[in-house]
Structures are given as C-alpha cells and as structure tokens.
Structure 1
C-alpha cells in the first residue's frame, strides 16, 4: 500500500476514532478473543472471489442492503420458514454471495466457537471482496453483535427508480450525507443489473412508448439492442466498459448521461452531487478511493448492536 494511502487512512481513523469508540467498536476487538480473525476471513473471501470476481459487487451490495435495514446487524442473512425475512423482500431476491459469508463464519467457528458475529464477518467480507479485485481498502472496526429480528416488511431500501430528493432523504435518515450518497453510488462501477429494471425507462417512460429524456439517446439505442421489449433477463453492466475494474469511470458514464438507473442519472440533479461527479471526471478520480473508504467506514457504523444487545449467532442464517 502506498505511503500516501496509509497516511490517509490514519487520518480516517483519527477523525472517526471517537465515534467508533462511542459505538463500542475497536479495530483490535478480537485480538485476544480470537487472534487472526481478519486473516481467516480474507483467506476464505479470496478463495471465492478470485474464482468468481463478480462476487465482489454482490458482497458489497449485500453489506449495503444489510446496513440500510435495522443497521449492520446481519439481519439480511436470516432465513424464515415463512419467507417473510429481509432476504425475501423483492429488492433482496437478487442478493447473492451468502455462501461466502457462511464459509468464513464456519472457519471462525472452528477456530473460536461463539466469538465472532456474523455482522462483523459480513463487514470484513465486503471489504476483502473489493480488495481482491484491487479496489480500495478501508479499516473495519469490530465488535458488532447480530440482530434477532428480520422482517420482509422493513426492507425499504433506496430504490433505483427514485429521484435525488428521495435518495437524499434515504441516506440522511441513516446518518449519511449527500457526499456519502454520491460516493457510495460509485460502487456501481462493478455492478451488474438486468434488462428488467430498465425496461420501462427505455421503452415506455411516461406510458406513451417513449424513453427517459434524461438518458443519452445513443445509450438508449445501445440498451435497446441488448434488451428487447419482452426481455427481462439479459444482464447489463452498470459501468459499461469498466465493470471489472473498481475505478471512477462510473462518474464519467453518469456525466455523459449514461447512468443505467434513474437513481444514477439523478445525481446530476443536485449541485453537490453533480459537482462531485465533475470533479472526479476532471481529475481522473483522484480522491475517489479515499472518499469511498471514508464512506464505507460510516456505512459500517449504522445502527449497530453492541454490548448485551443482540447475540453472536452460531450460524448466520438462524438465530441461536
């Protein structure tokens, strides 16, 4: 890791140190309770993601979806016999990568039974998955505990179909600011979606057989070549031409009005988010890696459970 990146991370930790301590987390939380936690999780994550690099985006998305509902408590991982848990909600039906978290947790259970929470495992797996594809590193303070409640009805996640006002509100109520919104949207640089989620946007935006006027016409034409009117399955790159590389190219695409979702295009409708996009385009993404690291640390602190709250699950899919 370059010296300048190390120094930047020292600044991150010093700025967030008080907040992290107040929330009961610690970078060395498992130092004596279960030495080598991070090395174990990294080894398992590398085994999976090196074979299937697309898991990096999937696991990053899983972490985001978990933290936005009931906080970072691994409630997304819980299964329900009645299919009414978070993972059964429509936005989460396409979430994948559970096997990676389960494998890392199983390895830790052999090493230190009942010590490491699934919430911490998921936070580490998301970070390490991005590292495998040479994305940015961020510190993961540890000590989260697992929630016992997971409700399908509570999975009100930021929608790809909404405008900037709704997105800002979604993030604000979770303690994330406008910069976090535009920075974390940059995770779409490695994302894959499908024709199903943009069908209306390119074929019947207002009910009159038209396309969304906020999209680049040439981009609409290219999407129509890939997605026929009745095609809801074909996969689409969220950052065309750069989907395998974690970089700032996503902002170039958005600036060219080639954002795949309404929520991507909406970033041009706010002065602050638009300014950030223009800065990243103009500087070749000079601050994106550091900014992403900062925002991921904040994401990982949302509404966490510590102390006597929650539990340490033996298996991530089931409460004890």
Structure 2
C-alpha cells in the first residue's frame, strides 16, 4: 500500500469512527420512544406474508451502507435524468421496499418528521436477522437521510465474482476489517441468488476448466442443471444455502465443503486470516453471532445524510 493510500485509508477510518460516535442508543428516547417497536411489528407482519422479506431487508441495508454510508440513498426513486441506486445493475433484484414504506408511514403517524429512513432501514435489518433465528442488538441511532442517489455509483458494491484482494480493498475503503468481511459475508446464509451471480463458475470457467475446480463436483452438477448454458429459465437460481430462511452458520460449513454459490464466498479460503475465521464460525455459531453483531454495528455507523425524509422514496 502506498503512503498516500495508507493515509487516505486512515483518514476514512478516522472519519467513520468519529461519525459513528455521533450516533447514540437513546437518540429517540424522548422524541419517538416507540419507533423501534413500530418498525419491528411492520417487519414481522411482512415476514408472516412473505418469507423472502428478511433476506431482502438485510441486503437493502448492506447495499445502502456501501455506497454513500447508511443514508437510505438506496431507497430513493429515479427522477428526471437521474437514475438512482435502486436502478443500478447490482440493485435491480433488490425488493421489499414496501416494508420500509409501511414502517415509515407507521412511524410518521406516531411522531412525524423525527425518525430517518436510514434508521428505519437499520432497525429493519436487525429485526430481519432476529426473526429468522439470528441474534439481536441495540442499533445506534441518529442517522440522517441522503439527498443524492446515483446508479453509476453502484459499481462500488463488492461483486460476487471478487477475489480476496478485491474484497479486502472494498471493505478497507469503508473502514471495515478482514474479520468484518468474513462476518458480514455470513449474511449470505439468507436468501436466493439468480444464476447470473455464479454462472461463470459453471461454464467455460477458464482455459483449462469448464467448471470452477473449487466447486464440489456433485454440487456443480446440480447447479448446472438449474443454470444450463442454453435455454435457461427466466429468473432461474437457487437458495444461498439449504436453510436459507434461517439465520445460522451453515454458510461457513458450505464454503469448507466447496458448496458456496459465489466466487467471493469461496475466496474467503484463499487467505490464511479469512480461512481461519471461516473455520471458527463454521464450528461456533456463538463466535459468528458475536462477530456479526459487532460488524453490523460498525458498518451501520458509516453515515453521511443531511435530512429526515418525509417519504423514503423522495427527498424533501
């Protein structure tokens, strides 16, 4: 790392730490004490009707925080000539925006103009994890909503094809460590992936292999039947792990078995530090939960907004 890159990295970590300090656990204690319980009820109601909601909310929060900080810019609609983040290529499969809309409407009815969409999204992500059997935690509060959202910036999101050095760079630019990388990747225990995110591992992988050699052969054969080279069904894909509706540590066991979907998942075994953490989390769900909570709070403290939106889809 160059001296300049090191300096910029340190500056970013300092700014992340100092911004995070502006958040507090009792931010709404006097102004909107029921905010979190209102959001939790909305998420629970949505989950009872659609089991894909938790994975969607967790992904929304992650994709929000990685662009301009956790400022709810991922919720803004495209307007006029401006194409918003939600319409960027990595985000077109995001969904469950309506859950945040419903939560915002309910919170506004109780205490108008007080709770930011960014905080509501952070609460909803925590609730999503808890509802699917994962840990819970106190979310630091006081984020503001951003006024800028650009589809072109979604190129900054870590891709499912990333190798370990690309992942390390992406996370470190946001003040997140290698342990944060492995812990937050555990969010892949929830949800579904389309073939487009892992197709390259199955067909014409490189000059000597048709299939990625790190894939378990029987698992690769199963994926090839789901994602054929020709005549692939529209929206074809598969769950991230067999227990994709439950937040657990199965994801790490699958990586060790060569049964993870993304190259970026398998890449965690290519570095001694991240490999050690994969094995630790695979054998201790308690260690994973503890690390995940710590990393979610750290990621959620990257802020950068300016206002409290009345409507999560448009700036004031």
Q: TM-score, normalised by structure 1?
A: 0.89
Structure-1 separation of matches of 2:101 and 2:278:
36
Structure-1 separation of matches of 2:191 and 2:236:
14
Structure-1 separation of matches of 2:292 and 2:172:
17
State the superposition RMSD in angstroms. 1.6
Contact 2:19 2:301 in 1 (8 A): no
Question: Residue 201 in 1 paired to residue 197 in 2?
Answer: no
Contact 1:183 1:288 in 2 (8 A): yes
Contact 2:19 2:302 in 1 (8 A): no
Question: Residue 317 in 1 paired to residue 316 in 2?
Answer: no
Contact 1:20 1:141 in 2 (8 A): no
User: What is the aligned partner in structure 2 of residue 244 from structure 1?
Assistant: 245
Contact 2:215 2:258 in 1 (8 A): yes
Question: Residue 265 in 1 paired to residue 261 in 2?
Answer: no
Question: How many angstroms does 1:197 deviate by?
Answer: 2.0
Contact 1:78 1:317 in 2 (8 A): yes
Q: Which moved more, 1:142-151 or 1:217-226?
A: 217-226
For residue 316 of structure 1, give the secondary structure of its aligned residue in structure 2: coil
Q: Aligned match of 1:64 in 62, 65, 77?
A: 62
Question: How many angstroms does 1:116 deviate by?
Answer: 0.7
Once the two structures are superposed, what CA deviation does each residue of 1:224-281 show, in whole Å capped at 9, x if it has no partner? 1222213152121111x22121111110000011110110110000111100111223
For residue 136 of structure 1, give the secondary structure of its aligned residue in structure 2: coil
Question: How many angstroms does 1:21 deviate by?
Answer: 8.3
Contact 2:144 2:303 in 1 (8 A): no
Question: Residue 39 in 1 paired to residue 37 in 2?
Answer: yes
Matches of residues 1-320 of structure 1 in structure 2 within 5 Å?
A: 23-81=21-79, 82=81, 84-155=83-154, 156-206=156-206, 210-230=210-230, 231=232, 233-239=235-241, 241-281=242-282, 283-305=283-305, 310-320=306-316
Q: For structure 2, list consecutive stretches of 5 or more residues without a partner in the other structure.
A: 1-16
Structure-1 separation of matches of 2:140 and 2:115:
13
Structure-2 separation of matches of 1:177 and 1:315:
34
Q: TM-score, normalised by structure 2?
A: 0.90
Once the two structures are superposed, what CA deviation does each residue of 1:162-185 show, in whole Å capped at 9, x if it has no partner? 100000000000010000000111
For residue 159 of structure 1, give the secondary structure of its aligned residue in structure 2: coil
Contact 2:19 2:303 in 1 (8 A): no
Structure-2 separation of matches of 1:197 and 1:169:
20
Q: For structure 1, list consecutive stretches of 5 or more residues without a partner in the other structure.
A: 1-18
Contact 1:182 1:273 in 2 (8 A): yes
For residue 202 of structure 2, give the secondary structure of its aligned residue in structure 1: helix
Question: How many angstroms does 1:25 deviate by?
Answer: 1.1
Once the two structures are superposed, what CA deviation does each residue of 1:196-220 show, in whole Å capped at 9, x if it has no partner? 2222210111267711112121211
